Amino acid sequence: MVEAAGVPRSVGASVRVVESNMRDLSRVRGDAGVIAIAPELPTMLVEPVSQVDGSFLPQANATINTWGIEAVAAHTSPLGGQGINVAILDTGIDINHPAFQGVNIVQRDFTGDGNGDSQGHGTHTAGTVVGQNVNNTRIGVARNVQKVLIGKVLDNTGHGNTLWSFQGIQWALNEGANVISMSLGIAFTTYVQQLIAQGVPADFATSLALEGYRATINAYTALASFVSASSGFDQPCLIVAAAGNENRQFVNPDWDIAVALPAATTGIFSVAAVGQTTSGLKPALFSNSGANVAAPGVSVLSAQAGSGGLVAFNGTSMATPHVAGVAALWAQWLKTRNQLNAFNLATKLAASATTDPLAAGFQPADVGLGLVQAPQSA
């Protein structure tokens, strides 16, 4: 049995999320302070998509703003996220990249691989949330946040487990995060394969994995509820997560795949991806259906680990940090009015979404409420 760290001290240090081997569940289910029980499932980054629909426009050689910055109207917002703390749970960060010069960054490694980002995924997502200008190009939505919390919950190969993500969420909350961004997913098929490799029959392995998946949903839901409840004790916090890149509508219109965990959890904002076309923005066919909101996720230019330069990626992993950045701007907007709480933040973010920039013919399930927008007043 393994335990995640406690939730905020003001809620009570005795309250815990416990992960356990399936056979140990009944033993720990009645323990005082245990709010959720689940097996330790493998996680992995939401892998960027290498090829996309040919109708999408490539990212031009930006000289002022990346297209995503303009799509969410961050370039015209008077706000930068001042006074707001943002957490990014991913593969870490290349702290020496020019995009993060002058940024107040706190790192925590949960993987054992040490701080840093040799994989590159976390650096790219962090650049979209808080990155400073690189070669006169703006890549970051919320460039003036108070503190950036980098939780390394995926190792140098881009893999991890649900324990690390649980620990990362709780650490971020304890550190004062107002927004938590996660571009990762549960590797269900990997867990089935691991069980089979241990000698478990395939049908029983699938059954165990399904039971574990269901328990993990409950665990994420319980933790998300505590994050929301923390508004009354410490600070309001909103979790945003990638919807996933598993959709196969581009192969067969009937092969429509719904939002994956942890984004599918009640209490977590799920994010779909859209891209540019000559007739307007269009949902990416790889983007899982049923997300709450949408954001730029095709040809997104951001920080490239190890190079000091920029690179364009595709995926809901790239859309999610746009939403996290916009959420930070709305958090600042509310804070200046003494109205910052979890309900108001979620409501303002949702209400900002618009379908106006979308090309005709989109399905509502592919974009949720629409493309999130940054506040246009201080």
Distances (CA, A) of 236 to 7, 54, 202, 262, 265: 14, 41, 44, 20, 18
Residue 264 Cα to chain centre, angstroms: 12
Active-site residue 121, yes or no? yes
Residue with tokens 């709780």: 170
Out of 97, 121, 159, 322, the active site residue is 121
Helix (H) or strand (E) holding 220: helix 202-229
Q: What is the mean pLDDT of residues 258-284?
A: 94
Active-site residue 234, yes or no? no
Please report, for the chain, the start and end positions of each structural domain, with discontinuous segments joined by +: 49-184+236-367
What residues are paired with 310 via a beta bridge?
Answer: 303
Provide the pLDDT for residue 12. Answer: 39
Contact assessment for residue 15 and residue 7, using Cβ atoms and an 8 Å cutoff: yes
pLDDT for 165-216, tens place per residue?
Answer: 999 999 999 999 999 999 999 888 888 888 899 998 999 889 988 888 888 8
Contact assessment for residue 296 and residue 71, using Cβ atoms and an 8 Å cutoff: yes
CATH number of 49-184+236-367: 3.40.50.200
pTM, 2 dp: 0.91
Active-site residue 75, yes or no? no
What distance, in Å, lies between the first and last C-alpha atoms of the chain?
48
pLDDT for 221-250, tens place per residue?
Answer: 888 888 887 665 557 999 999 999 988 776
Provide the pLDDT for residue 41. Answer: 85
Out of 20, 77, 317, 352, the active site residue is 317
Distance in angstroms (rounded) separating the CA atoms of residues 174 and 169: 9
Those residues whose C-beta lies under 8 Å from the C-beta of residue 24, and which sit 6 or more positions away, are 1
Q: What is the mean pLDDT of residues 2-25?
A: 44
b/e per residue, 308-324, with b = 16+ CB within 10 A? Answer: eebbbbbbbbbbbbbbb
Tokens representing 130 are 């808080």
pLDDT for 141-159, tens place per residue?
Answer: 999 999 999 999 999 999 9
Contact assessment for residue 38 and residue 212, using Cβ atoms and an 8 Å cutoff: yes
